[in-house]
Structure 1
Amino acid sequence: MTTRWLTPEEQRAWRAYIAASHLLEDAIDRQLQQDAGMPHLYYSILANLSEAPERRLRMTDLAERTKITRSRLTYAVTRLEKDGAVRREGCPEDRRGSTAVLTDEGTALLERTAPGHVETVRATLFDHLTPEQVGQLEEICAGVARGIQGDGPRTAGDDVPWLRRSSTPCS
């Protein structure tokens, strides 16, 4: 098999992506650690639960939404349980499954943390983009995610559950 080396343009784009994604994730993690003592992944779990009906999701659905393995999610939820932000309940439809539920304490933590998180996301990402670039970023990222997941080609805004967000300030 012949190696398909990156073109100079692709190499520059790849390196720019790596630099930007690492810097962005570091800035978000720093802010969340400082404001709430949690990494971005934990905030994302709380945000996803806050957007779910009755603030609850089956663990398998939560793992899919957060794009992590079930074992990594189990570890994170266990930590969030110890902090009182989440509780686990048995799943009535499937005795083998369990459901993660956002507690009132978790909701309060999310509400306290969301303004700083949104400001960090805005300052580190969106303040540097034009409205047209925001649409392009969504389309590019959604296309890459669909390609990795093996979903067929779509355009931005199609019915992709994890792309749909409520109007809450949590992301």
Structure 2
Amino acid sequence: MTSYPPAQCCTVGFRHEGALQGKAIRITGGKHEAYLATPPPDKAKKFAILFLPDIMGIWKNSRLLSDEFASNGYLTLLLDTFNGDPLPVRAVVNDEVDIFKWLAGGSTGDNPHNEPAVDPIVLDAIKFLREEYGVKKLGAVGYCFGAKYLVRHWKWAKEQAFYQAIVWFDEHLRE
């Protein structure tokens, strides 16, 4: 999805195993759901990672990846960029959903997952990490859908150490 429209690659993956270590939280006065994974005190590096997930949002795999980043010393915020409306894993795997329709209006038709809807959520998360945790240096990972929003906020990276884990969106490279 990061280079081309959503395709079969969005529905392929593997399952991670393990016990969850982080916790579910709400940020921005309860407005957005997130998963916060904190590093052990002896490994804390005073840096954070903003995790922008794929279309399946906050689920066991993405939580376990967040926990792994935290175990290596990075406070990690896994953000619900879908306003409570990620695609269920089974719907993605079984090709039971029209991804373009979902992007345009969400599952209910009135909850879009486009730039005007997602950009403010990402900015709220950055503000949350800065204000609530005093984060001065923030890295980010974006998987599939999330990579687009990582690139869209790359301008913010001029003052930060921002890292993109997936490929670039062609249209955003030209901006």
Q: TM-score range by the shorter chain?
A: under 0.3
| TM-score, scaled relative to structure 1 | 0.25
Q: Which has the larger radius of gyration?
A: 1
| TM-score, scaled relative to structure 2 | 0.24
